[in-house]
Structure formats: structure tokens, C-alpha cells
């Protein structure tokens, strides 16, 4: 079933999806940085990466929840 979302939400969903490859690349690059890093640098990188991934997951989760809520309200 195709659901029509308000323009602003559809635009937000598309923008969020367009950022997914960037998030994946950040994760991949962090593994490359890890290889030659000191233990302290690794901890710093992992801390930053953890924050980025947590924020990304929160954004994706909230977006998915909003989509579901709109789908339910249109039924």
C-alpha cells in the first residue's frame, strides 16, 4: 500500500535516506583510522563514532515511528 505523506515529511524521509551512505562511510573510515592509532586515539574515535551512530539511530527510529503513526492515522 502506498501512503502519501505531507511534503515536508516526505522531503525529510528522502533527506534522511540520502545520508545513510555517509554514515556508512564514516563507520568504514573509523576502522581504517583504528589500524594505525594509539590506544588513546582509538578510544577517542570510538567515543565519537558511538555518539554519531546513536544520534543516527535515534533519527531513523523517530522518522520510522512518525511514518507508522501517519500510516495508522490514515487507515
pTM comes to 0.76
DSSP for 1-62, written as a single string? ---PPPHHHHHHHHHHHHHHHHHHHHHHHHHHHHHT--HHHHHHHHHHHHHHHHHHHHHHHH
26-37 pLDDT, tens digit each: 999 998 988 889
16-71 pLDDT, tens digit each: 899 999 999 999 999 898 888 999 999 999 999 999 999 999 999 998 888 888 77
Amino acid at each position: 500500500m502506498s501512503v502519501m505523506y505531507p511534503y515536508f515529511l516526505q522531503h525529510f524521509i528522502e533527506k534522511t535516506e540520502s545520508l545513510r551512505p555517509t554514515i556508512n562511510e564514516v563507520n568504514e573510515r573509523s576502522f581504517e583510522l583504528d589500524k594505525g592509532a594509539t590506544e588513546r586515539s582509538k578510544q577517542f574515535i570510538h567515543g565519537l563514532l558511538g555518539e554519531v551512530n546513536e544520534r543516527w539511530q535515534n533519527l531513523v527510529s523517530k522518522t520510522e515511528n512518525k511514518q507508522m503513526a501517519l500510516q495508522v492515522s490514515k487507515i
